Amino acid sequence: MRGPRHPEPGVSSHSEQAGLEQAVVRRQGSRGFWPLRDLPVLVWLAATVVVALVHPFVPAPRWLMIHLLMLGAVSHAIVVWSRYFTDALLHSAEDDRRSQNRRLLLLNGGVILVVVGVPSHVWPLTLLGATAVGSAVLWHGWTILRQLHAALPARFGSSVRYYVAAACFLPVGAGLGTALARDLADPWHTRLVVAHAAVNLLGWVGLTVVGTLVTLWPTMLRTRIASGAERATTRALPVLVCSVLVTAGGASAGVRPLAAVGIAGYVTGLLLTAPAFVDALRRKPPTAFPAWSVLSGLTWLVGTLVALGAGIGAASSWPQVHEVFGWLTPFLVAGFGAQVLLGALSYLVPVALGGGPTPVRAANLVLDRGAPLRLVVTNTGLLLCALPVPSTVRVLASVLVLVALAATLPLLILAVRASRSATAHPTSAPGGARVPHGRPAGQMSGLAATGLAVVVMAVAAGVAVDPAVLGAGTTVSAAAGVAATGETTTVEVEARDMRFTPATISVPAGNRLVIVLTNTDDEDVHDLVLETGTDSGRLSPGETVRVEVGVVGRDLDGWCSVIGHKQMGMVLTVHVTGTGTGTGTGAAPTTAAASSEGHASHLHGPGVNDGDPSPAETDETREVEPTPATDHLDLMAEPSPGWAARDAALPPLPALPRSRVHRRTFVVRDVEREVAPGVTQRLWTYGGTAPGPVLHGRVGDRFEITLINSGSIGHSIDFHAGALAPQRPMRTLAPGQSLTYRFRATRAGVWLYHCSTMPMSAHIANGLFGAVVIEPRHLPSVDRSYLLVQSELYLGEQGGEVDVTKLADENPDLAVFNGFANQYDHAPLTARVGERVRVWVLDAGPNRPTSFHVVGAQFDTTYAEGAYLLRRGESGAQSLGLQAAQGGFVELTFPEPGDYPFVSHVMIDAERGAHGNFRVSP
């Protein structure tokens, strides 16, 4: 059905607005429940939530969440609703629903193949899925273009042109994504990632959103469309399209300034359409969830694009662009993509279900439940994640954002039920009872305040989990009985490269001392703890804090309390001038409060005053010192109930005709783990275990490891299995930062990976290490294969961290295989008589060698550091000697049933826990 001719552009009348609203709302053929239209978007959203909840256990979780939401949910919604608006705006007859169903099946089937193919590294599956997605969208765009040519000129025909332009971009983005799945090396990888995102996010999604909101936005606000809106939209389209092309082209060509100019042009195009949006907003501010959610999403879009353009323009290399883009991606996806999608669905789903005013209002009322609370939690939570907050706070804020966004899913289901109920039981009043639109102002303010309170509680909880971020504990006076002068000495101190600059501060006796501490390190976290207990709290790179020392009457020592930093020379001295009573730090009785790691907060209570506490007061007010872990050490004891040995089995690799890509995410976490029966330590770990996850592949395989630092201090990773310049991939990450480490395994062996942040010995000894097993070509198969990683433990306090003094003295308490003393005595490794067993051995150190030996057996094959020392034959070997960071394997068969101990034949280490058993059955 062809529509009537519209007034001249720029002329807006109430009758025309009403007609447009009726065209958009009363699409009779599209009303009611339509499974292929309504269900897939809910399924994709639910899948996104599930992956977010179980992300530590799935491959490539970040990529998966982004594509489930944007490629799955958002793309499905675009294909559905852009067709819906095309029919409405052009007053055209509805196309055969069967054809739409075929397009939707092709689209969603392709998305399924992509989200399975990329994480599983099956590139043909990815290619097939991307082809299906691109074909479905091209088919969709061609259908819309035919409708546009067949219809009479329409006032808002420019919106339909946006849909056609958007449909042209997605196949290009799909092609770029398919190329990225081939695991291209940098800088090509980063350049194509930016181009891929520009084409898909700004072209496919952005153009569709702008073209739709020119009519949907005032309709959602229940106000008229601004005069001249269609002209502004028409002018903006070529600007936006050209900007996407410039951004993608500049990124692909490696011209960073050109990519930045393209993003600036895109923001300019958005600003061309802004007057019409602002006009509607000024006349009728949002009162319900859909409009507020869309407005929030647009705000995040503009803000992140400005930040991205500035970041790309200021970057001096593509790795820096990768960091900026990686940091901003979650805000583009969750802030813009998710909020616009959920806001639009919350408005359109009730309309599409139909049934008259009463069912629509009933569904709207359900979808508006808790709107201010959800909106405030989502947006303040995202803003909190964008700030330099501790990792625990960022994690809690992310959880709140996820919950607030996910709450829309059950509300959509409840809205469908409410609509059906209202349709089945309409009110007797003509037109149905009116449901008041919006909420009372007081109720909205209360819900918004509740949302803000929830976020504040998350901040408080995050700080409570890691109080070091604020600095905690009670301090004692540094006055030493000296009268205050009333003057203040302020000194600026920088923390960088394991040094404080200046390292000595002079202050007149009786002056109040203020230290302005700035962490100017590029990578690492630092703090300053004085012997009085004054603590700056942990500072990320670039952060500054004022440390109020108080009146100073004696010399003071200070240090960085981050593990190992003090031992590397990161100390500071406060020297008092103008008095003969400054006796140095050794004379002050309060120095007993300061442990070697700076835990002076053990003092509390009435003994803390402006003078020095007496020895008696110090004894009374000191908390009980934590016990050394060695007090609990009994290697003859049984492990705690519920303990399970680490699985040492190394499964055989699948038979593949070519090399494969291994994508893993390593999250650095501080965890308390049992390392011997009854002995616990707070370890720094990759993925919650020490050793970290095992990587297993063949020569030629590629590895793409995403490292996320969720620990309390700076960490890094160094893969010996890769050969590349260390400056970028091995750099130290501050808490909350991440990077992607890519390398190709070009040589066989069992390779160490470890944290390379200084002091490296402490980071390795406290758990940050693991193994990469790269099998040589034509490696013979065996019946069983095991991996044993030997390391040392220098026990600190029970439940504490590594004792760096023992580490410096090379005096370990334990030597262990796979992280636990004697664990394979309690859970022996199994084999059968006559089976060929291969044992891969890696010495992770950080300091001691090993000599791997199996009591009662002989090795007929030994392999060390990439070469065979002995092959099967008449000769044999009794041990495999390895220095720290060396690895290899042995092969053997067991002649008869029994228990065969395996040890490090550095016998003192066998007695320290480097001991286990093979249990051989007939």
The binding site consists of 715, 720, 754-755, 763, 905
Query: Which amino acid appears at position 229 of this protein?
Result: A
| Distance (Å, whole) CA 559 – CA 600 | 12
- Amino acid 492 reads E
Task: Say which residues have a Cβ less than 8 Å from residue 622's Cβ, sequence separation at least 6.
Answer: 592, 593, 602, 603
The amino acid sitting at 585 is: T
Closest CA relative to residue 594, chosen from 528, 526, 530, 513: 530
The alpha carbons of the chain give a radius of gyration, in whole angstroms, of: 33
Buried b (16+ CB within 10 A) or exposed e, 434-467: eeeeebeeeebeebbeebeebbeebbeebbeebe
C-alpha angle 518-523-524 in degrees, rounded to nearest 5: 65
CA gap 219, 703 in Å, rounded: 50
Q: Spell out the residues 6+ positions from residue 540 whose beta carbon is closer than 8 angstroms to its own.
A: 388, 519, 525, 734, 735, 736
Q: Quote the Cα angle for 100-104-106, to 5°.
A: 115
Structure tokens at 916: 């286990």
Amino acid at 416: V
Give the integer Cα–Cα distance in Å for 823 and 819.
8
Contact of 856 with 820, CB cutoff 8 Å: no
Q: Count Cβ neighbours within 10 Å for each residue of 639-675 and write b for 16 or more, e otherwise.
A: beeeeebbebebeeeeeeeebbbbbbbbbbbbeebbb
Phi-psi region of 846 (alpha: psi -120 to 50; beta: other; left: phi over 0): alpha
401: which 2 tokens?
Answer: 């954002």
Q: H/E element holding 786?
A: strand 784-793
Rounded-to-integer distance, Cα 104 and Cα 82, Å: 13
Beta bridge partners of residue 558, listed in sequence order:
530, 572
| 429 DSSP β-pair partners | none
3-class DSSP state of 757: coil
Strands 695-698 and 718-719: unpaired
Q: Looking up tokens 């002018």, which residue turns up?
A: 235
Instruction: Please give the annotated binding residues for Cu cation, written as ranges.
Output: 715, 720, 754-755, 763, 905
Single-letter residue type at 734: A
Report in angstroms the alpha-carbon separations of 166 from 205, 265, 538, 905.
Answer: 7, 17, 47, 68
Find out whether 415 and 350 touch, Cβ atoms under 8 Å: yes
Q: Phi and psi for 444 in degrees, rounded to 5?
A: -65, -45
For strands 749-754 and 718-719, give the pairing: antiparallel
- Measured CA to CA in angstroms, residue 341 lies from 76, 118, 169, 411 at distances of 11, 25, 19, 14
* Percent composition of the chain: helix, strand, coil (DSSP 3-state, to 5): 45, 20, 35
Write down the number of H helices and E strands in the chain. Answer: 24, 27
Query: What does the longest C-alpha to C-alpha distance in the chain come to?
Result: 101
Q: Give the C-alpha separation, 286 to 275, whole Å.
A: 16
Phi, psi of 576 (to 5 degrees): -90, 130
First-last CA distance in the chain:
84
Q: How far apart are CA 310 and CA 325, in angstroms?
A: 11
**689 φ, ψ to 5°?**
-130, 150
Cα torsion 48, 52, 56, 62 to 10°: value is: 70
In 10 A of CB 702, how many CB atoms? 20
